[in-house]
Amino acid sequence: MFPGSAGHHEHFCPTDGTLIGRLPESSPADVERAFAKARVAAELWTKTPLSHRRAIMMRFHDAVLNHQKDLLDAVQWETGKSRSSAFDEVADICLTARYYANSAKSHLATRKRQGALPLLTTSEERYVAKGVVGMITPWNYPLTLPISDAIPALLAGNGVVLKPDHQTPFSALCALKLLVEAGLPRDLFQVVIGDGPTVGSAIIDNADFVMFTGSTATGKLVAGKAAARLIGFSAELGGKNPMIVLDDAPLGRAVQGAINASFSNAGQLCMSIERLYVHEAIYDTFVPRFVDAVKGLSIGIGRDFSAKIGSLISAEQLEKVSGHVKDAVSRGASVLVGGKHRPDIGPYVFEPTVLENVTEDMMLCRGETFGPVVAIYRFHSDDEAVALANDTTYGLNASVWGSPRRARALARRIEAGSVNVNEGFTASWASTDAPMGGFKESGVGRRHGREGIIKYTNIQTVASQRLMNIEAPGSMTGDAFARTMTIGLRILKRLPFRH
Ligand code: NAD
């Protein structure tokens, strides 16, 4: 981590208030120095063989599994989430490290492209590391988001300067220690601590590319700053994600899927389902089963796997979630289950909550709650379900349950970057080979898959010409050249097009 000079910040555990540690905060000048250090390291790193970078990621994969207890403790300590949600993060960075370690070579290999003139021009596409990637991440997945997005950036030959959310710096720092022990050059990956407007802005001021994850409001500010510098950026933003349960859905699995998708990480998940649309033919069967299953969820703050639902991260988050529920109830929504703050379990614990009769005038109807709260609605036809699902400014994730062919056809009509058929969110998220990201106000760019690593490169075309230049030879008039070229273009059109 970079030794900041802007004072210290004390970090407390949200579930028991114990002091986790004091970390130095960075000033904008510190951020500039962190970039300079990472840049020097990146110049050497980008020349290392990909096989060397790959071996480090494979060692890191094993180290994460071997040290998972420490990582789980760190994640739970600074977020208050359940241990099973923390384990999702450990599993995710392993999946990502393995995927990109194995696939980077084919993604980054120089590709032959069609040349201008057959036989005379050869053209190739190369992927050149951007330099130093600036990363800004939120608090909800403090291990997964910084590390899984850093892995492809590093494999592509870049350095990284990360600003984690100031509430959750420790998980990423623990993972960074393992990366360095696995062989990553110490200066290549810098972590700076501080707030968004000052330190986050300084990241954008110095980066060659920005990888941002956070709210749509902040994403727009980041996009504006990146545009002013003409640097590329990728933004993974908020959502108000719908689930549709068709009348031929496998009911038991759909109930379980809705639980997992609505309440994983106590709903503090960008892909979380906050709108649940159920076909009228099964509504009266589905809803009581769903409510019963919610009543059976274990809530707790222990450092073991006994609780499914953990704490929210902070008083601010608790206020937002309970504010959304209070507002909805005061305007006529019915609470089918949950709805209460549970200080008897932990200071920021909120019950998993299901609401009915949610209407347009309520804050949570369209606004992202980012907590364990789902609104349930009835629909009458597939067309109506699609229209309701798409009636949002967001487009991050969606889920459709039903007979596979019908559900898949409907999934293709949803305006979202990922749509899960007969799953809530994990099927698309964990398909690391497939790109993830948002439509509409849910993001720009993609993580995972080829797109998730190529974005960290500048694409360069090297075209080589043999025997003659592509211009009129000295003795030829412009007119004669145009006539010759016209004949050539006609012949070219007749030749088989290979791509
Ligand atoms: P946020 O936008 O407030 O903060 C995210 C990060 O941006 C933090 O590190 C913060 O310090 C920084 N930041 C804040 N203001 C900044 C500025 N002016 N310039 C630069 N950086 C700044 O987000 P949050 O509320 O902490 O996180 C929750 C949001 O993140 C939700 O909307 C959630 O949906 C979204 N999210 C999206 C994904 C995804 O993959 N699409 C993943 C996780 C979270």
237 lines ligand 1 (CB under 6 A): yes
Q: Are residues 143 and 283 in the same domain?
A: no
Catalytic entry in 236, 274, 351, 368:
236
Looking up residue 258, the CATH number of its domain turns out to be 3.40.309.10
Look at 8 and 72; give whichever has higher pLDDT: 72
Output the pLDDT for position 4.
Answer: 82
In a domain, 465, yes or no: no
Question: 313-319 long-range contacts, Cβ below 8 Å, gap at least 24?
Answer: 313/14, 313/79, 313/80, 313/81, 313/139, 313/140, 313/167, 313/168, 313/268, 313/348, 314/14, 314/167, 314/348, 315/347, 315/348, 317/268, 317/348, 317/370, 317/371, 318/347, 318/348, 318/350
In a domain, 188, yes or no: yes
Average pLDDT over residues 328-341: 98
In DSSP terms, 159 is beta-bridged to: 132
Output the pLDDT for position 240.
Answer: 98
Catalytic entry in 25, 78, 174, 270:
270
∠ CA 25-31-32, nearest 5°, is 150
215 lines ligand 1 (CB under 6 A): yes
Q: Are residues 358 and 378 in the same domain?
A: yes
214 Cα nearest atom in ligand 1: 30
Predicted confidence (pLDDT) at residue 302 exceeds the cutoff of 80: yes
447 Cα nearest atom in ligand 1: 40
Alpha carbons 347 and 349: distance in angstroms, whole number: 6
**pLDDT band of 88, cuts 50, 70, 90:** very high
Output the pLDDT for position 475.
Answer: 87
Predicted confidence (pLDDT) at residue 1 exceeds the cutoff of 80: no
Predicted confidence (pLDDT) at residue 324 exceeds the cutoff of 90: yes
| Domain membership of residue 313 as a residue range | 241-437
435 lines ligand 1 (CB under 6 A): no
Q: Are residues 394 and 378 in the same domain?
A: yes
In DSSP terms, 61 is beta-bridged to: none
Look at 121 and 118; give whichever has higher pLDDT: 121
**Is the separation of the CB atoms in 210 and 234 below 8 Å?**
yes
- Annotated catalytic, 125? no
Mutate which of 144, 218, 233, 236 for ligand 1? The one with the most ligand atoms within 8 Å of its CB, which is 218
488 lines ligand 1 (CB under 6 A): no
Q: Are residues 172 and 223 in the same domain?
A: yes
Q: Are residues 392 and 258 in the same domain?
A: yes
Cα of 180 to ligand 1 centre, how many Å? 27
**pLDDT band of 2, cuts 50, 70, 90:** confident
Quote the tokens at residue 459. 């694409």
347 lines ligand 1 (CB under 6 A): no
213 lines ligand 1 (CB under 6 A): yes
For atom 26 of ligand 1, the residue with the nearest CA is 138
Cα of 189 to ligand 1 centre, how many Å? 21
Predicted confidence (pLDDT) at residue 300 exceeds the cutoff of 90: yes
Please give the share of the chain, as a percent, with pLDDT higher than 90.
Answer: 94
Q: Are residues 220 and 287 in the same domain?
A: no
Q: Are residues 268 and 137 in the same domain?
A: no
Look at 474 and 344; give whichever has higher pLDDT: 344
Q: Are residues 247 and 214 in the same domain?
A: no
Q: What radius of gyration, in Å, describes the C-alpha atoms of the chain? A: 26
Average pLDDT over residues 44-65: 98
Alpha carbons 71 and 89: distance in angstroms, whole number: 9
Predicted confidence (pLDDT) at residue 293 exceeds the cutoff of 90: yes
426 lines ligand 1 (CB under 6 A): no
Quote the tokens at residue 495. 């030749």
Q: Are residues 203 and 98 in the same domain?
A: yes
In a domain, 490, yes or no: no
In a domain, 479, yes or no: no
Quote the tokens at residue 148. 């899984």
Q: Phi/psi at 110 (nearest 5 deg)?
A: -60, 135
137 lines ligand 1 (CB under 6 A): yes
Predicted confidence (pLDDT) at residue 499 exceeds the cutoff of 90: no
In DSSP terms, 123 is beta-bridged to: 113, 463
In a domain, 499, yes or no: no
pLDDT by residue (tens digit) across 445-486?
999 999 999 999 999 999 999 998 989 888 899 999 999 999
Quote the tokens at residue 125. 């596409």
Output the pLDDT for position 6.
Answer: 81
pLDDT by residue (tens digit) across 388-415?
999 999 999 999 999 999 999 999 999 9
pLDDT by residue (tens digit) across 175-231?
999 999 999 999 999 999 999 999 999 999 999 999 999 999 999 999 999 999 999
In DSSP terms, 134 is beta-bridged to: 161, 210
Output the pLDDT for position 193.
Answer: 96
pLDDT by residue (tens digit) across 410-434?
999 999 999 999 999 999 999 999 9
Predicted confidence (pLDDT) at residue 280 exceeds the cutoff of 90: yes
429 lines ligand 1 (CB under 6 A): no
166 Cα nearest atom in ligand 1: 11
**Is the separation of the CB atoms in 224 and 258 below 8 Å?**
no
In DSSP terms, 23 is beta-bridged to: 9
| 433 CA to centre of own chain | 14
- What residues contact 494, with CB distance under 8 A and at least 6 apart? none
Alpha carbons 318 and 80: distance in angstroms, whole number: 12
Alpha carbons 107 and 421: distance in angstroms, whole number: 28
Cα of 138 to ligand 1 centre, how many Å? 5
Alpha carbons 171 and 143: distance in angstroms, whole number: 5
- What residues contact 228, with CB distance under 8 A and at least 6 apart? none
Please return the burial class of 10, using the count of CB atoms within 10 Å of its CB with bins 0-12, 13-18 and 19+: exposed
For atom 25 of ligand 1, the residue with the nearest CA is 215
In a domain, 257, yes or no: yes
Q: Are residues 79 and 133 in the same domain?
A: yes
Residue 410 carries which side chain, given as an amino acid letter?
L
Average pLDDT over residues 65-88: 97
Residue 202 carries which side chain, given as an amino acid letter?
A
Alpha carbons 237 and 442: distance in angstroms, whole number: 5
Map residue 15 onto helix, strand or coil.
Answer: coil
Looking at residue 310, the DSSP 8-state letter turns out to be: -
Output the pLDDT for position 498.
Answer: 78
197 lines ligand 1 (CB under 6 A): yes
Q: How many CB atoms lie within 10 A of CB 431?
A: 16
**Is the separation of the CB atoms in 255 and 296 below 8 Å?**
no
Query: Residue holding tokens 């970078």?
Result: 53
In a domain, 442, yes or no: no
Output the pLDDT for position 492.
Answer: 85
Alpha carbons 126 and 131: distance in angstroms, whole number: 15
Looking up residue 63, the CATH number of its domain turns out to be 3.40.605.10
In a domain, 215, yes or no: yes
Average pLDDT over residues 65-70: 98
Cα of 106 to ligand 1 centre, how many Å? 32
- Annotated catalytic, 270? yes
**Is the separation of the CB atoms in 240 and 367 below 8 Å?**
yes
Query: Residue holding tokens 């039903």?
Result: 402
Taking each continuous run of H as one helix and of E as one strand, the counts in the chain are 17, 18
How many domains would you assign to the chain? 2
pLDDT by residue (tens digit) across 150-190?
999 999 999 999 999 999 999 999 999 999 999 999 999 99
Output the pLDDT for position 474.
Answer: 86
Alpha carbons 137 and 205: distance in angstroms, whole number: 16
Q: Are residues 188 and 326 in the same domain?
A: no
Q: Are residues 193 and 272 in the same domain?
A: no
